[in-house]
C-alpha cells in the first residue's frame, strides 16, 4: 500500500468536543499505511454527518505479542491513556476510541498536524543545559564524542511527565511528542502503558526529584477520586483489575512523595531509539 497522503483534519480539532463521537461513529476509509510504526498503523479518514477528519487506525489484529504485556491489547491501553488524560483536564492525548474498522476492532485516534518549528529536544555541546532547558543525559554522537541531550523546560512537557508517571509509560520517545501551531502539545503511542511493574521509560527526566507543581498535585487528587469513581468504571473494560489497582497506587505514591519520580535502575530509563 502506498505511503499515506497527509490530509489535515477538516473542521475538527483535538479540542472539538465532538471529535471522539466522529471517530466512534464515522465511516472509516483507509488511505495508506504508516510504515515506520512497529505494529499495524493505518492512515484513514473518518466521515459522519457532513464532517470529516484524518485519523490513525491501529487494528488489534495487527499487534505483535509482547512478553511483558501479556494481558489486554495495545489498542485498549491507548484508549485508557486518553481517558486518564481527559480526567486530568490537560488534554494531552488526542481523542481516541475503540471501534470496529475495516480490519476488525482497533484504536482510532484523531490525526495531529505537527508544527515543525517547535523545538522540544536538542543535543548541545555543553556540560550543563542553558536556561530554559533540562538535562536528560549524555549521548554518543560519533567518533568518541558525546553531547548533552536536553528537553525544553516547558510546562506542557512537565504535565506530560506527570501523566506518564501515572500511566507508567514504557516508551516516551521524542517522536511521540506532537506540538501544534496553536501552542498545544499532544503525546501519542501509548500501547505499552499501565503495567503493574515499574516500567517508566521516558525522555522527560528533567524534573526528576523536583517537587510537583501545585497544579499537578491538584490534578492527582482529582485522579485519585476519579479512579474510584467514573474514571475507574471507564478503565475497567480496557485494562486489568491489577493494572487499575497499580494505577491507583502510582497516584497515591506521587501524592505521598510530592516529587517527580526518578529512574528506578531496574529498567532502562530512556527508550531506544530516543527519537
Kindly report, residue by residue over 176-231, the tens digit of the pLDDT. Answer: 999 998 999 999 999 999 999 999 999 999 999 999 999 999 999 999 999 999 99
Residue 8: its pLDDT value, please? Answer: 47
- Looking at the DSSP assignment, which residues form a beta bridge with residue 135? 150
Domain ranges (residues) in the chain:
10-110
How far is it, in rounded angstroms, from Cα 184 to Cα 182?
6
Residue 86: in which H helix or E strand, if any?
helix 74-88
Residue 44: its pLDDT value, please? Answer: 96
Inter-axis angle of helices 74-88 and 155-167, nearest 10: 130
Residue 275: its pLDDT value, please? Answer: 65
DSSP string, 206-236: TTTTSBPPHHHHHHHHHHHHHHTTHHHHHHT
State CA 39 to chain mean position distance. Answer: 16
Higher pLDDT, 224 or 10: 224
Task: Please state the rounded mean pLDDT for residues 102-131.
Answer: 90
Q: Who contacts 103 (Cβ-Cβ below 8 Å, separation ≥6)?
A: 40, 42, 57, 59, 61, 62
- pTM value is 0.92
- Helices and strands in the chain: count of H runs, count of E runs: 6, 10
Cell 476492532 identifies what position?
105
Cell 472539538 identifies what position?
16
pLDDT, the chain, mean: 91
Residue 3: its pLDDT value, please? Answer: 41
Q: Which of 21, 63, 22, 19 is nearest to 42 (CA)?
A: 63
Q: Is the pLDDT of residue 118 over 50?
A: yes
Q: Is the pLDDT of residue 73 over 50?
A: yes
Amino acid at each position: 500500500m502506498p505511503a499515506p497522503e497527509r490530509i489535515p483534519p477538516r473542521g475538527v480539532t483535538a479540542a472539538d468536543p465532538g471529535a471522539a463521537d466522529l471517530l466512534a461513529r464515522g465511516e472509516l476509509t483507509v488511505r495508506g499505511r504508516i510504515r515506520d510504526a512497529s505494529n499495524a498503523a493505518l492512515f484513514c479518514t473518518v466521515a459522519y454527518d457532513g464532517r470529516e477528519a484524518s485519523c490513525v487506525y491501529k487494528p488489534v489484529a495487527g499487534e505483535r505479542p509482547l512478553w511483558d504485556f501479556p494481558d489486554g491489547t495495545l489498542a485498549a491501553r491507548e484508549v485508557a491513556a486518553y481517558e486518564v488524560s481527559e480526567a486530568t483536564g490537560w488534554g494531552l492525548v488526542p481523542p481516541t476510541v475503540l471501534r470496529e474498522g475495516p480490519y476488525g476492532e482497533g484504536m482510532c485516534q484523531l490525526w495531529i498536524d505537527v508544527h515543525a518549528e517547535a523545538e522540544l529536544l536538542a543535543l548541545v555541546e555543553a556540560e550543563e543545559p542553558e536556561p530554559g532547558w533540562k538535562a536528560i543525559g549524555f549521548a554518543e554522537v560519533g567518533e568518541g564524542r558525546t553531547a548533552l541531550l536536553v528537553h525544553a523546560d516547558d510546562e506542557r512537557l512537565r504535565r506530560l511527565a506527570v501523566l506518564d508517571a501515572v500511566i507508567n509509560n514504557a516508551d516516551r520517545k521524542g517522536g511521540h511528542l506532537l506540538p501544534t501551531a496553536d501552542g498545544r502539545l499532544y503525546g501519542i503511542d501509548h500501547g505499552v502503558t499501565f503495567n503493574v511493574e515499574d516500567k517508566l521509560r521516558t525522555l522527560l527526566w528533567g524534573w526528576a526529584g523536583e517537587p510537583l507543581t501545585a497544579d499537578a498535585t491538584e490534578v492527582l487528587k482529582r485522579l485519585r477520586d476519579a479512579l474510584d469513581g467514573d474514571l475507574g468504571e471507564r478503565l475497567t473494560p480496557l485494562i486489568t483489575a491489577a493494572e487499575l489497582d497499580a494505577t491507583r497506587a502510582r497516584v497515591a505514591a506521587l501524592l505521598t512523595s510530592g516529587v517527580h519520580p526518578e529512574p528506578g535502575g531496574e529498567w532502562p530509563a530512556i527508550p531506544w531509539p530516543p527519537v
